[in-house]
């Protein structure tokens, strides 16, 4: 599997499972209807973990343009690779959202509220204040990228261990440690924690592909009574995570590298 395919598949799984929990909680006459925010945040955390496990050995499992931009900004990914990663992530997100629509096909018609239907696909603020909403997405994504890089850092080895092993050997051990490790699950728990702590104001997109890809799917799909796709808000879950991701990576570089 090449990097493009891995990022597409990983983001597809992320949105299939993450968007799926939103549908299960929000749409009427589902078994999980109205089961609450804890279920939503737990579902997204598990979705992230499962997506990472699926493709990390092929592409690094960015599954998020904010992560890709953050890594590129600190020299951990060539800028020439960014378009490939980001394109795959958006395509995977659109496909994942479309599959969620198919999985819940009978439930769109019985759910009357257009905002509820849109909420399955994309984020909306609890209080619409553009600057505050943007700031919340920046903070959430900052926490995500800084936390992810800290969790995955090969510098978890002590300086003495690194001196004995050499930098190249330490990096190789870190890569091998992904297989059958708990690190993807820890990243999922981080996403769960961010959702519980910082997700209330905006629904915590913290991933441009997670919001914009499904929002595009919402606009294109024949969903009965769907209403508009709220394009006036759509820039915030894209710009905020991009800023937060780069800031998180830069702070990581200052403190860990």
pLDDT tens, position by position, 90-141: 999 999 999 999 999 999 999 999 999 999 999 999 999 999 999 999 999 9
Write the CA distances from 65 to 140, 191, 213, integer angstroms: 14, 16, 11
Task: Spell out where 198-250 has E strands.
Answer: none
The CATH number given to whatever domain includes residue 48 is 1.20.1080.10
- From the list 69, 91, 95, the residue with the least C-alpha distance to 7 is 91
Q: What is the pLDDT of residues 149-186, one digit of tens each?
A: 999 876 444 444 445 545 555 555 555 555 458 889 99
- From the list 241, 218, 238, the residue with the least C-alpha distance to 230 is 218
Q: Is 11 helix (H, G, I), strand (E, B) or coil?
A: helix
Of the CA atoms within 13 Å of residue 61, those in its CB half-sphere come to 25
| CB-count exposure of residue 138 (10 Å: 0-12, 13-18, 19+) | buried
Could you give the number of structural domains in the chain?
A: 1
Kindly report the pTM of this predicted structure.
0.90
Euclidean distance between CA atoms 193 and 199, whole angstroms: 9
| Domain range for 144 | 3-256
């Amino acid at each position: 599997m090449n990097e493009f395919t891995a990022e597409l598949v990983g983001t597809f799984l992320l949105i299939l499972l993450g968007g799926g929990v939103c549908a299960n909680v929000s749409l009427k006459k589902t078994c999980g209807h109205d089961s609450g925010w804890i279920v939503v945040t737990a579902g997204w955390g598990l979705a992230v973990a499962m997506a990472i496990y699926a493709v990390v050995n092929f592409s690094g499992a960015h599954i998020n343009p904010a992560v890709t931009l953050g890594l590129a900004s600190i020299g951990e990914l060539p800028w020439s690779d960014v378009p490939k990663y980001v394109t795959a992530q958006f395509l995977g997100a659109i496909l994942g959202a479309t599959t969620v629509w198919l999985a819940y096909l009978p439930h769109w018609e019985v759910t009357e509220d257009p905002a509820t239907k849109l909420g399955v696909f994309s984020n909306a603020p609890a209080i619409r204040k553009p600057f505050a909403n943007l700031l919340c997405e920046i903070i959430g994504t900052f926490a995500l990228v800084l936390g992810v890089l800290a969790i995955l850092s090969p510098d978890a080895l002590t300086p003495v261990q690194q001196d004995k092993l050499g930098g190249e050997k330490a990096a190789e051990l870190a890569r091998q440690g992904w297989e059958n490790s708990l690190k993807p699950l820890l990243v999922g728990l981080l996403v769960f924690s961010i959702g519980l702590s910082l997700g209330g104001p905006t629904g915590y997109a913290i991933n441009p592909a997670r919001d914009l890809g499904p929002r595009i799917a919402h606009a294109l799909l024949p969903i009965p009574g769907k209403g508009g796709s709220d394009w006036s808000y759509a820039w915030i879950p894209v710009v905020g995570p991009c800023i937060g991701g780069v800031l998180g990576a830069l702070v990581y570089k200052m403190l860990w590298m």
